[in-house]
Amino acid sequence: MGHRPPTYAAEPVALPVADPAALGEVVPDTVLDGAQYGSLTLRAVSQRGDSARYRGAPRRDALLLARFGTGAHSLILAAVASGPAVGDPRAAHDACAWIGGAVARSCTRLAEDLRTDHRSALRSGLQRLADRGYGKLRARTAGPGGVPESPAAVRCLLLPADPACRTRVFFGVGEGGFLRLRDGVWEDLEPSAPGQEEFAPHDGPSASGHRPSAGVPAPPGSAPGPESSGPRRAPGPAPFLFTTVTGRRGDALLLCSAGLAEPLADEPALAAHLATDFSGPQPPGLTSFLASAQVRVKGHARDRTAVGVWDT
């Protein structure tokens, strides 16, 4: 898609080199998942980017779709993570495992706060979980001179399995996208400023009031900063992002890594294509969702991970 064809082939080329002593850590090219609970239908995919497929590099994006608890305290967690371009290729996978374990241990309290619409408690509790785990990830990724590398970006949706609860919670750290498709129009639901949490649910247009008809605003942090030849400094802690959404029948939420958020912002034709694919009378099946996520755009060859949530 775009004015010129993509640089790389459409299908995988080279496999990453495997360690015979650690075959359990081999990361597949593509992961596809989904579920349905009450009025919620979930579709999720994580796939290796065109560049990594060509070079035989492992997928650095990761995906977790998991359910914790039972009955009224049952929660669904969708986590999307992107690892750093260099360093530990499993950073994003470890980040998903960390956030999944943290949510599981706090499941009962989080579910009660969600059911009672206690947004301030949700925000403070989730931020504590994020700060604790993200600090561990930063400490583990210390590079030359003991300077921590930027750890994985982690973005999550916390969803109640209880159909009577319509609150959906977004939280995370780092770049990516969080969008809503309503009446065929994409709305950017990203918190309006880095680190600025919003306690009022997104019932109408996005916080900025912007309702793009085809493209979407550029994801925060997607533009590369100027390179510096001076001494390396430890990157500052990434701001915690938090907002809530009230589910409405016919809405679709899209949580994605920067590998999809960036081409959505840069190529209006892709945003329009996905809006059409995701606006059918029924949520797409697994293979249809995969095909939509695989639409390629010239100049965008990073890993892509996306979770779609439909209210039906």
Task: Read off the pTM.
Answer: 0.84
The tens place of each residue's pLDDT in the chain, 312 residues long, gives 656 667 776 788 888 888 888 888 889 999 999 999 988 999 999 999 999 999 999 999 999 999 999 887 899 999 999 988 777 788 899 889 989 999 999 999 999 999 888 999 999 999 988 888 776 666 665 555 554 555 679 999 999 988 889 999 999 998 999 999 999 999 999 886 444 444 445 564 333 333 343 445 544 444 333 333 344 344 556 789 999 999 999 999 999 999 999 999 999 999 999 999 999 999 999 999 999 999 989 889 899 999 999 998
Instruction: List, in order, residues 6 or more apart from 20 with CB less than 8 Å away.
Output: none
> What does DSSP say about strands 185-188 and 177-182: parallel, antiparallel, or unpaired?
antiparallel
- Residue appearing with tokens 């892709």: 270
| Domain boundary assignment for the chain | 30-220+239-311
> The dihedral of CA 25, 90, 101, 170: what is its sign?
negative
- Specify whether the CB–CB gap between 130 and 49 falls below 8 A: no
- Specify whether the CB–CB gap between 138 and 152 falls below 8 A: no
d(CA 166, CA 162): 8
Angle, in degrees to the nearest 10, between helices 268-277 and 286-293: 170
User: Which H/E stretch holds residue 67?
Assistant: strand 61-68
**Region label for 176, one of left (φ > 0), alpha (ψ between -120 and 50) or beta (otherwise):** left
- Residue appearing with tokens 């604790």: 132
As a whole number of Å, the end-to-end CA separation of the chain is 30
- Residue appearing with tokens 């034709």: 269
Residues present in the chain in total: 312
CATH assignment, 30-220+239-311:
3.60.40.10
